[in-house]
């Protein structure tokens, strides 16, 4: 009898242990399922929110010069339809920061401008912003910034752009680079890659600064007729600006459309603003450029 009772006790013990293990596994499975469902719900909400924030609308124009619907973008953005069923898509003009209450020129004393000889004009001319801070160097592109190349300022002093910018500790950074490295009508993927890296480096060095990406400026139509500037044709610059607008959104920066004040109805640099070379800008052009900057801030 003792052997039977011991045997029965062992059998019951094993049975209860199996039941306990099964119940525990079922509970664990239910918990994992609940966590999975919760994660999917939260993830879907974040994706929907991100897409809604990054949606750019524009009405498709009848002018093929500006029609960028079929152009491959730097990232996928949602294409929407307005209430009147008009098709919409990304366009750098519509991605630009809208007008705001204008600030005084003195506001830019807390801003730094990163760029090339076009940006040096803002520094040199009285119609520019001589009271701002500058990291502007003739003939450079974003690769010089990323690679830590020593660059020469307008006063002849050489410096490392990122080091100089970090030392200035601006509250806002304005970036305009590209004309010097886009002259050849070739693939510009590496330019966009360097541009992304440059924005990342600026964000890491100055985490509290607002970054404004300025569109590459328009040029006169005769510029792209030159062999060494074939890449500065109007259509190509529009495509590149579309990419820069998408990158600005991707990096939580603000995009500024300088074409709004510098381009004529054909998308060319306004003739009265153009220097003889067709792409540098006269003081009168810097005056309207500055007015645009004053009325497009995130203050």
Task: Write the CATH number for 216.
Answer: 3.40.50.1110
pLDDT-based confidence at residue 216 (cuts at 50, 70, 90)? very high
- Taking only Cα atoms into account, the Rg of the chain, rounded to an integer number of angstroms, comes to 28
60 within a domain of the structure (yes/no): no
Write down the pLDDT at residue 15: 63
> What's the chain's average pLDDT?
83
Asked if residue 272 and residue 156 are part of one domain, the reply reads yes
Average pLDDT, integer, range 99-125: 96
pLDDT-based confidence at residue 11 (cuts at 50, 70, 90)? low
> Dihedrals φ, ψ of 77, to 5°?
-125, 145
Render pLDDT for 277-290 as a digit per residue (tens, 0 to 9): 999 999 999 999 99
Contact at 8 Å (CB) between 294 and 111?
no
Asked if residue 8 and residue 147 are part of one domain, the reply reads no
Asked if residue 246 and residue 184 are part of one domain, the reply reads yes
Which structural domain range is residue 45 located in?
1-53
The number of distinct structural domains making up the chain is 2
Residue 94's Cβ-side half-sphere holds a number of Cα atoms within 13 Å equal to: 17
| E strand or H helix that includes residue 136 | strand 133-136
DSSP labels, 21-84 = HHHHHHHHHHHHHHHHHHHHHHHHHHHHHHHHHT----BPPS-TTT--TTSPPSS-----B-TT
Asked if residue 112 and residue 31 are part of one domain, the reply reads no
- The helices-and-strands tally (H runs, E runs) of the chain is 9, 7
Asked if residue 284 and residue 147 are part of one domain, the reply reads yes
265 within a domain of the structure (yes/no): yes
223 within a domain of the structure (yes/no): yes
106 — alpha (psi -120 to 50), left (phi > 0) or beta?
alpha
Separation CA 175–CA 255 (nearest Å): 10
Close Cβ partners of 16 (under 8 Å, ≥ 6 residues apart): none
Average pLDDT, integer, range 23-43: 77
Is beta strand 210-214 parallel, antiparallel or unpaired with respect to 172-176? parallel
Residue 250's Cβ-side half-sphere holds a number of Cα atoms within 13 Å equal to: 18
Residue among 214, 245, 241, 248 nearest 129 (CA): 214
Asked if residue 97 and residue 158 are part of one domain, the reply reads yes
Write down the pLDDT at residue 20: 77
Close Cβ partners of 295 (under 8 Å, ≥ 6 residues apart): 99, 100, 101, 102
Write down the pLDDT at residue 227: 85
Render pLDDT for 126-159 as a digit per residue (tens, 0 to 9): 999 999 999 999 999 999 999 999 999 999 999 9
pLDDT at 58 over 50: no
Asked if residue 42 and residue 100 are part of one domain, the reply reads no
Average pLDDT, integer, range 257-274: 96
242 within a domain of the structure (yes/no): yes
253 within a domain of the structure (yes/no): yes
Asked if residue 117 and residue 18 are part of one domain, the reply reads no
237 within a domain of the structure (yes/no): yes
DSSP labels, 105-119 = GGGGGGEEEEESHHH
130 within a domain of the structure (yes/no): yes
């Amino acid at each position: 009898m003792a052997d039977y009772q011991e045997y029965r006790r062992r059998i019951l013990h094993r049975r209860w242990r199996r039941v306990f293990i099964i119940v525990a596994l079922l509970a664990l499975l239910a918990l994992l399922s609940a966590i999975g469902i919760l994660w999917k719900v939260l993830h879907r909400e974040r994706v929907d929110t991100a897409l809604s924030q990054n949606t750019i609308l524009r009405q498709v124009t009848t002018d093929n010069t500006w029609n960028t619907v079929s152009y491959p973008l730097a990232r996928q953005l949602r294409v929407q339809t307005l209430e009147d069923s008009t098709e919409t898509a990304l366009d750098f003009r519509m991605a630009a920061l809208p007008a705001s209450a204008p600030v005084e020129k003195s506001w830019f004393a807390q801003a730094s401008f990163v760029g090339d000889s076009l940006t040096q004009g803002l520094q040199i001319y009285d119609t520019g912003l001589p009271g701002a801070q500058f990291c502007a160097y003739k003939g450079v592109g974003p690769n010089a910034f990323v690679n830590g190349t020593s660059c020469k300022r307008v006063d002849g002093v050489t410096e490392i752009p990122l080091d100089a910018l970090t030392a200035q500790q601006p509250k806002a950074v304005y970036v305009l680079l590209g004309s010097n490295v886009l002259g050849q009508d070739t693939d510009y993927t590496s330019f966009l890659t360097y541009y992304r890296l440059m924005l990342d480096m600026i964000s890491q060095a100055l985490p509290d600064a607002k970054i404004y990406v300025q569109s590459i400026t328009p040029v006169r139509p005769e510029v792209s007729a030159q062999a060494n500037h074939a890449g500065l044709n109007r259509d190509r610059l529009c495509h590149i600006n579309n990419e820069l607008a998408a990158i600005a959104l991707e990096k939580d920066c603000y995009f500024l459309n300088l074409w709004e004040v510098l381009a004529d109805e054909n998308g060319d640099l306004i003739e009265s603003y153009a220097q003889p070379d067709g792409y540098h800008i006269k003081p009168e052009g810097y005056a309207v450029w500055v007015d645009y900057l004053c009325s497009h801030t995130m203050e």
